[in-house]
């Protein structure tokens, strides 16, 4: 291997959000009937692909079967009933990781030694159904089911294209101690990849991606969220306009940038369990903007959105990087 491959030539495509001290509160499940202050309903949204989106099916397809005759065989994008689709579970994972990072929540997704992750409770003090951090309350933990349900999001306008994804050499956490850990050995925080101008490597075999500019439609429903929890969810979707989500494969190469555009929110009346047909209030346009703003304010006021963490995240997931930042095409 030549020396060039041993030394990174570009800035790292990611940065860290400092880990917050978790704060547990009383939580309510979706099995109860709740009154004032708790919201159940549905958000209808579309995702705008700001860079190509690569969600792999896990298999290969003949180029001609996915309308890309120019390639004999491609790693195909995920489809449901023949329509390119982003699975609800992938979206939920991305939104949860943002919500966890900016709120006083515990770290749930880690393949790392928990003892080296700052502020984490001992096993016996982990989040429980009745007492949990904000992210565990909203997205579920152990026996507690999630109070948010993400449906699959299907391509509504746009198309797929072939993309030559660079083969990157990413250092593993245990081999790049200085990058991931402090001098004392503690992990620096939660890792997020920057947005940027996608890099391509014509030497690599093509994969099938959802093209930039495509629109992907989906809905998510929520039950028994407090106003502040709903505000945290809205922030984690990027609905305050300050962050763009990043999903799927090729993140270091700057693929996967998705802007969430809210269409409407339907809110069930607090006593909808008792009614024959649910009474629904619909927010659209200016009403929707005001509704989202009000919930964001509640989340800030109740410190479910933390200042330090949310501003660190904005610096990484801010939209401005899309035009400014170069992505690595080799070792980083
Ligand atoms: Zn938790």
CA of 326 to the centre of ligand 1 (A): 35
Which range of 55-59, 101-105, 195-199 scores highest in mean pLDDT? It is 101-105
For residues 45 and 8, the model is more confident at 45
Q: Which residues surround ligand 1, an ion (CB under 5 A)?
A: 106, 127, 133, 136
CA of 96 to the centre of ligand 1 (A): 11
Q: How many CB atoms lie within 10 A of CB 271?
A: 12
Helices (H), the chain: 3-6, 88-102, 134-139, 177-180, 227-236, 285-301, 307-317, 321-324
CA of 76 to the centre of ligand 1 (A): 35
pLDDT over 80 at 43, yes or no: yes
CA of 322 to the centre of ligand 1 (A): 32
The 10 Å CB-count burial string (b at 16+, else e) for 191-230 is bbbbbbebbbeeeeebbbbbbbebebbbbbebbbbbbbbb
* Sequence ranges of the domains in the chain: 15-28+39-324
pLDDT over 70 at 6, yes or no: no
CA of 108 to the centre of ligand 1 (A): 7
Q: What pTM did the predictor assign?
A: 0.91
Of 31-45, 92-106, 170-184, the poorest mean pLDDT is in 170-184
CA of 168 to the centre of ligand 1 (A): 33
CA of 254 to the centre of ligand 1 (A): 30
Q: pLDDT tens, 177-187? A: 677 788 878 88
CA of 133 to the centre of ligand 1 (A): 4
CA of 134 to the centre of ligand 1 (A): 7
Residues 246, 247, 248, 252: what is their CA dihedral angle, to the nearest 10 degrees? 10
DSSP per residue over 73-113, as a string? EEEEEPEETTEEEE-HHHHHHHHHHHHHHHTT-------S-
Distance of CA 323 to the CA centre of its chain: 21
Tell me the CA distances in angstroms from 3 to 13, 220, 330, one per residue in order.
21, 49, 13
pLDDT for position 4: 47
pLDDT over 60 at 31, yes or no: no
The H or E element spanning position 189 is none
Question: Does residue 266 sit in helix, strand or coil?
Answer: strand
Which range of 21-30, 105-114, 128-137, 213-222 scores highest in mean pLDDT? It is 213-222
Q: How many CB atoms lie within 10 A of CB 101?
A: 27
CA of 298 to the centre of ligand 1 (A): 20
User: For residue 195, what are its two tokens?
Assistant: 């947005």
Nearest alpha carbon to residue 147 among 200, 82, 226, 254: 226
């Amino acid at each position: 291997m030549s020396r060039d491959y041993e030394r990174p030539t570009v800035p790292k495509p990611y940065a860290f959000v400092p880990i917050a001290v978790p704060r547990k509160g009383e939580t309510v499940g979706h099995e109860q009937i709740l009154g004032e202050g708790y919201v159940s309903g549905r958000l209808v949204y579309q995702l705008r692909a700001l860079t190509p989106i690569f969600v792999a099916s896990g298999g290969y397809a003949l180029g001609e079967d996915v309308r890309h005759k120019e390639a004999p065989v491609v790693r195909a994008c995920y489809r449901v009933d023949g329509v390119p689709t982003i699975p609800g579970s992938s979206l939920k994972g991305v939104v949860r990781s943002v919500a966890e990072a900016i709120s006083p929540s515990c770290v749930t997704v880690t393949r790392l030694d928990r003892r080296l992750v700052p502020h984490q409770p001992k096993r016996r003090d982990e989040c429980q159904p009745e007492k949990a951090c904000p992210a565990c309350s909203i997205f579920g933990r152990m026996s507690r089911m999630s109070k948010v349900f993400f449906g699959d999001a299907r391509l509504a306008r746009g198309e797929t294209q072939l993309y030559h994804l660079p083969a990157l050499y990413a250092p593993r956490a245990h081999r790049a101690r200085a990058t991931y850990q402090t001098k004392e050995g503690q992990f620096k925080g939660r890792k997020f990849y920057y947005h940027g101008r996608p890099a391509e490597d014509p030497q690599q075999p093509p994969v099938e991606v959802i093209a930039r500019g495509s629109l992907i439609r989906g809905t998510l429903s929520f039950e028994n969220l407090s106003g502040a929890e709903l505000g945290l969810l809205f922030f984690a979707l990027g609905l305050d306009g300050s962050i763009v989500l990043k999903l799927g494969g090729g993140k270091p190469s700057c693929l996967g940038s998705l802007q969430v555009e809210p269409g409407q929110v339907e809110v069930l009346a607090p006593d909808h369990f008792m009614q024959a047909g649910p009474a629904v209030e619909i927010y659209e346009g200016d009403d929707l903007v005001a509704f989202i703003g009000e919930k964001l304010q509640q989340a800030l006021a109740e410190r479910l959105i933390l200042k330090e963490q949310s501003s660190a995240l904005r610096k990484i997931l801010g939209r401005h990087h899309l035009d400014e930042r170069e992505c690595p095409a080799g070792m980083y």
